[in-house]
Amino acid sequence: MANPTDNRSLSELVTGLLGDISGLFRKEVALAKAEASEKMSHALGGVEILGAGLVFAIGAIGVLLAAVVNSLSAFLVARGFAEHNADAISSVVVGVIVALVAWAMISRGLSMLRGNNLTLDRTTTSLRRDAQILKERT
């Protein structure tokens, strides 16, 4: 069976090809926008988790650190440490533990923002496929 485009002139074929390329380009731009929006939503989720982690870390520090330092200091004084030495040791121990917890939460939030989570995989694949089709047609 003959293809109806066989009887078209060269200018009609070129015009049709340009129209197809233009439509394809518009669709690819729309896909890129949609995928970028999806990736940004995911990244914003990471920022929200990071922010929540920071708020909890600050709140926990403000509410509990004084009590923990005082408790540890009292424990060390009961074990024979001088009061000023017990206060210093307690502050360092509690500070290091809180810093490690905060670091873990911040690292988790930042890992969600890494570059490979923001790549436009579907758009890249689609563009490669479209480029291959264009090469085959020309």
d(C-alpha 128, C-alpha 98), whole Å: 48
pLDDT at 6: 64
Confidence of residue 3 (pLDDT cuts 50, 70, 90): low
Domain holding 130, by residue range, is: 10-137
Confidence of residue 1 (pLDDT cuts 50, 70, 90): very low
Q: Is 2 inside a domain boundary? A: no
DSSP state string for 28-87 = HHHHHHHHHHHHHHHHHHHHHHHHHHHHHHHHHHHHHHHHHHHHHHHHHHHTT--HHHHH
Domain count, the chain: 1
**pTM of the predicted model as reported, rounded to 2 decimal places:** 0.44
